[in-house]
């Protein structure tokens, strides 16, 4: 069995095992797994509204997953995607309502502001890592809380109600009448196009550019990279900045597409943290992240329909956790597949 086929089969088998064990959990808990999965399916693909809602849910997961995966591929653990997303959300919402510009300028400007805000928030841990060897996990965790409370303070200071910013202007919105009509006002928006473009951009940077090669090389071995003449410190900072930009764009999807503003947050959105699982499921590959985001977004949105048949949405959280568990146990699945392959070859 080829390594490429094994890499494909491991996450597929992990998902199947997660769904099977999830069915057992539902059965043990006194729920009908068949009805549960039918409700989940209908919550994802039941009609144009649910399909649009599913795509809308998937969009920020793609970008959050790319943010985590890019850092992983360059030897860093950016656990601060949540905070970078919040800062991107705040920046996009502010630019969206504070300026009145033609749409051809306003929308790109708001998106760029979100990317820059996320990049700036990631620049700080990147700088501390490069210059002072401060571990990025510690700094990014702290930056998440700083982002949450800074964003809340800014929202309270600039809004009349003290709870949310004004709605963005139409010229900065990713929503469209066409998509609203097509999906029965599901809040689907053109952000999915931006997310898909970012998948290709990440792939191109890492696989087709000299800078991408350097970023990966520094992640694999800093000493060897430095010996080869690469600037290790600048590459560490750049890797965090690019990762943060992806996270900021995820925030822009919420500000310019889903909600049209930002409200005071009682806690984290969870999208940034789920991005870690998405990246893990996608093996940190851009197109793998896309598939992982589709799975997570579909499960998250489809689970909203499960209470209609008496099954709590927490069951889906258990299923997602099981999928992550089996993905994390991928080495065991890989070994079993290799043994089965060797037995077939022996015969």
What backbone torsions phi and psi does residue 31 show, to the nearest 5 degrees? -110, 155
Q: Are 249 and 61 in contact (CB under 8 A)?
A: no
- Give 335-343 contacts, CB < 8 A, sequence gap 24+: 337/1, 337/6, 337/9, 337/10, 337/13, 338/1, 338/6, 340/1, 341/1
Label residue 2 by pLDDT band (50, 70, 90): low
| Model pLDDT, residue 346 | 65
DSSP codes of every residue in 97-148: HH----HHHHHHHHHHHHHHHHHHHHHHHHHHHHHH---HHHHHHHHHHHHH
Interval 151-168: pLDDT, tens: 999 999 998 878 999 999
How much is the average pLDDT of 91-112?
A: 96
Rounded to the nearest angstrom, the gap between the alpha carbon of residue 110 and the centroid of all alpha carbons in its chain is 20
DSSP codes of every residue in 156-220: HHH-SSSSBPPPPPGGG----HHHHHHTTS----THHHHHHHHHHHHHHHHHH-HHHHHHHHHHH
Query: Closest by alpha carbon to 214, among 67, 75, 66?
Result: 75
Mean pLDDT of the residues in the chain? 92
Q: Element (H or E) spanning 30, and its range? A: none
Asked whether the CA dihedral 26, 30, 32, 36 is positive or negative, the reply is: negative
| Model pLDDT, residue 320 | 79
How much is the average pLDDT of 274-282?
A: 90
Both tokens assigned to 113: 């502001």
Cα separation, 270 vs 294, in Å, equals 16
Label residue 215 by pLDDT band (50, 70, 90): very high
- Within a 13 Å sphere around the CA of 99, how many CA atoms are in the beta-carbon half? 19
Q: Are 99 and 171 in contact (CB under 8 A)?
A: no
pLDDT(301) > 70: yes
Cα separation, 271 vs 135, in Å, equals 23
Cα separation, 245 vs 207, in Å, equals 19
> Hey, is 13 helix, strand or coil?
helix
Domains of the chain, earliest start first: 1-31+311-347 (no CATH), 48-297 (1.10.3470)
Cα separation, 141 vs 193, in Å, equals 30
| Model pLDDT, residue 1 | 58
Interval 16-53: pLDDT, tens: 888 899 899 999 989 999 999 999 999 999 999 999 99
| Model pLDDT, residue 59 | 97
Q: What is the C-alpha R_g of the chain?
A: 21
Query: Closest by alpha carbon to 182, among 304, 53, 41, 293?
Result: 53
Distances (CA, A) of 228 to 129, 135, 225, 232, 258: 21, 24, 5, 10, 46
pTM of the model: 0.93
Q: Map tokens 């699945």 to a residue.
A: 333
């Amino acid at each position: 069995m080829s390594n490429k086929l094994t890499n494909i089969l491991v996450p597929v088998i992990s998902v199947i095992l997660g769904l099977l064990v999830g069915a057992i959990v539902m059965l043990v808990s006194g729920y009908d797994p068949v009805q549960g999965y039918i409700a989940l399916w209908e919550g994802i693909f039941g009609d144009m509204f649910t399909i649009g809602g599913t795509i809308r849910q998937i969009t920020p997961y793609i970008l959050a997953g790319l943010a985590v995966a890019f850092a992983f591929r360059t030897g860093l653990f950016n656990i601060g995607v949540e905070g970078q997303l919040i800062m991107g959300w705040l920046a996009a919402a502010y630019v969206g309502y504070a300026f009145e510009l033609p749409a051809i300028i306003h929308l790109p400007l708001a998106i760029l502001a979100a990317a820059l805000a996320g990049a700036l928030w990631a620049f700080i841990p990147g700088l501390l890592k490069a210059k002072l060897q401060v571990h990025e996990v510690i700094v990014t965790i702290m930056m998440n809380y700083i982002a949450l409370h800074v964003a809340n303070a800014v929202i309270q200071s600039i809004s009349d109600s003290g709870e949310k910013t004004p709605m963005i202007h139409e010229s900065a919105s990713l929503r469209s009448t066409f998509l609203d009509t097509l999906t029965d006002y599901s809040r689907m928006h053109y952000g999915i196009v931006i997310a898909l473009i970012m998948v290709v951009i990440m792939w191109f940077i890492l696989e087709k550019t000299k800078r991408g090669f350097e970023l990966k090389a520094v992640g694999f071995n800093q000493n060897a990279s430095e010996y080869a003449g690469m600037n290790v410190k600048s590459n560490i900072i750049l890797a965090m900045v690019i990762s943060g930009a992806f996270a900021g764009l995820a925030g822009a999807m919420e500000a310019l597409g889903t909600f049209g503003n930002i409200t005071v947050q009682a806690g984290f959105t969870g999208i940034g943290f789920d991005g870690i699982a998405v990246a893990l499921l996608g093996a940190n590959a851009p197109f793998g992240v896309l598939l992982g985001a589709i799975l997570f977004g579909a499960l998250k949105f489809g689970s909203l329909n499960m209470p209609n048949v008496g099954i709590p949405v927490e069951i889906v959280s258990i299923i997602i956790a099981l999928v992550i568990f089996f993905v994390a146990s991928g080495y065991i699945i890989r070994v079993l597949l290799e043994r089965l392959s060797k037995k077939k070859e022996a015969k």
